[in-house]
């Protein structure tokens, strides 16, 4: 009957009209109240305003650097200490690659004035935390002026990526030590699985565009550096490589990540279902109380009236036969001490034995 009532209500023209009116009201409320707010937020973003604090977002390179320095001083202090709390910098620009980079602190073996004695251990711990996950790509920055096998960054990356399949090396200061660089990046004595990219650092007050022009000229006309394959030189090549590698690692790891998310969601949902209902007011508490009382009454009725022990399949002592057998056994132990026994009086002794044989029965005739 309940299903018929629901069907008739759904087919009711008045009900359909009411639903349409409700949906129309929700849509109108969204268009009138929510949509203008979202449009205002978008306009503020285009105006480069921090709408949560009212401060102007730094956009020039100098102001960005000052903001980073101020945030660093706030987190790690004004000295030379470090902190594992990250500073997030969001850069938006049309036509730039969509990348997520984590700039880790440089490795320091000997503490300088103002740094803690265990500065190396602190830095190493932070670096390992970020490079250990198999989803991470290790961007190992090497100077062309040093011997690659002795670099600390290479040693640390090899500890977590022995095959080198997720390590990419970036060689800087190539204009300072061009001799032998071709052999270093082609022979790969340190097993860099993703290869090398050689870049030229900015010098002085060069802008980004000026630095890229000078970099292109260097790798095109330098007698030694021009011999390096063009797929291994330049900041644009590095950006493209990083974007391709990131896309590949996402495609490789995404199914497993989705599976982990679904597994955790299922476990959390199961735990949530096991939690007691949230009681927000007295009415909810009364309703839950009566529901519990009703379940208890139903359980007692099954056990005491119908002899149904389905709710307690392993609790044999609850069954009526077991209780009667226990009572008769106790009575049979007391009887010989008070009454003389004969062959005709052994019924009460045999009765507990017979009852004990049935004590495991789930008979519902008691």
pLDDT per residue over 4-16, tens digit each? 444 444 455 444 4
What residue ranges define each of the domains in the chain, with the CATH number in brackets? 16-57 (no CATH), 74-266 (3.40.50.300), 307-357 (no CATH)
Structure tokens at 339: 């009454």
* Cβ atoms 204, 64 nearer than 8 A: no
* Cβ atoms 328, 290 nearer than 8 A: no
Q: Whose structure tokens read 């040093």?
A: 146
Q: What is the pLDDT along the chain (366 residues), one digit of tens a residue?
A: 444 444 444 455 444 444 444 445 555 555 666 666 666 666 655 544 444 455 556 667 778 888 888 888 887 777 667 778 888 888 877 777 677 788 888 887 777 777 778 888 888 888 998 888 888 888 888 888 888 888 888 888 888 888 888 889 999 999 888 888 888 888 877 778 888 999 998 888 888 889 899 999 999 999 999 999 899 999 989 988 888 888 887 788 888 888 999 999 999 999 888 887 777 788 888 888 888 888 888 887 776 666 676 776 666 655 665 566 667 777 777 776 666 555 555 555 555 554 445 444 444 433
Structure tokens at 65: 């650097």
The pLDDT, as a whole number, for residue 325 is 65
Taking phi first (over 0 means left), then psi (-120 to 50 degrees means alpha), and beta for anything else, what does residue 114 get? Answer: left
The pLDDT, as a whole number, for residue 40 is 63
What's the half-sphere exposure (Cβ side, CA atoms, 13 Å) at 159?
13
Structure tokens at 108: 């320091």
Mean pLDDT over all residues of the chain? 75
Please state, in angstroms and rounded to a whole number, the distance separating the CA atoms of residues 262 and 250: 17
DSSP string, 326-364: HHHHHHHHHHHHHS---GGG-HHHHHHHHHHHTTT----
* Cβ atoms 182, 196 nearer than 8 A: no
Three-state DSSP at 306 gives: coil
The pLDDT, as a whole number, for residue 345 is 53
The pLDDT, as a whole number, for residue 360 is 46
The pLDDT, as a whole number, for residue 306 is 67
């Amino acid at each position: 009957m309940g299903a018929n009532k629901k069907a008739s209500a759904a087919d009711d023209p008045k009900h359909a009209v009411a639903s349409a009116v409700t949906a129309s009201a929700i849509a109108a409320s969204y268009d009138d109240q929510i949509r203008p707010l979202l449009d205002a937020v978008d306009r503020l973003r285009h105006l480069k305003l921090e709408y949560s604090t009212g401060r102007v977002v730094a956009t020039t390179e100098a102001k960005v650097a000052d903001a980073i320095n101020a945030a660093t001083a706030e987190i790690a202090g004004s000295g030379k200490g470090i902190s594992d709390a990250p500073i997030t910098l969001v850069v938006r620009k049309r036509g730039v690659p969509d990348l997520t980079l984590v700039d880790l602190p440089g490795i320091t073996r000997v503490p300088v004035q103002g740094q803690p004695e265990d500065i190396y251990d602190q830095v190493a711990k932070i670096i390992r935390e970020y490079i250990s996950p198999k989803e991470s790509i290790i961007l190992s920055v090497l100077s062309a002026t040093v011997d690659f096998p002795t670099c600390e960054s290479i040693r640390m990356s090899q500890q977590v990526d022995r095959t080198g399949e997720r390590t990419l090396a970036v060689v800087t200061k190539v204009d300072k030590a061009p001799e032998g660089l071709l052999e270093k990046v082609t022979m790969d004595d340190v097993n860099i699985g993703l290869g090398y990219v050689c870049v030229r650092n900015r010098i002085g007050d060069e802008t980004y565009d000026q630095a890229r022009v000078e970099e292109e000229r260097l790798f095109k006309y330098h007698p030694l550096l021009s011999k390096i394959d063009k797929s291994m030189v330049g900041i644009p090549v590095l950006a493209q490589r990083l974007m391709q590698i990131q896309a590949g690692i996402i495609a490789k790891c995404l199914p497993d990540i989705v599976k982990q998310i679904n597994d955790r969601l299922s476990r959390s949902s199961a735990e949530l279902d096991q939690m007691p209902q949230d009681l927000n007011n007295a009415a909810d508490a009364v309703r839950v109380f009566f529901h519990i009382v009703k379940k208890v009454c139903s359980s007692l009725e099954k056990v005491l009236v119908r002899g149904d022990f389905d709710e307690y399949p392993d609790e044999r002592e609850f069954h009526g036969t077991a209780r009667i057998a226990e009572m008769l056994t106790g009575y049979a132990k007391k009887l010989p001490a008070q009454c003389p026994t004969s062959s005709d009086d052994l019924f009460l002794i045999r009765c507990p034995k017979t009852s004990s044989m049935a004590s495991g029965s789930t008979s519902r005739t008691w």
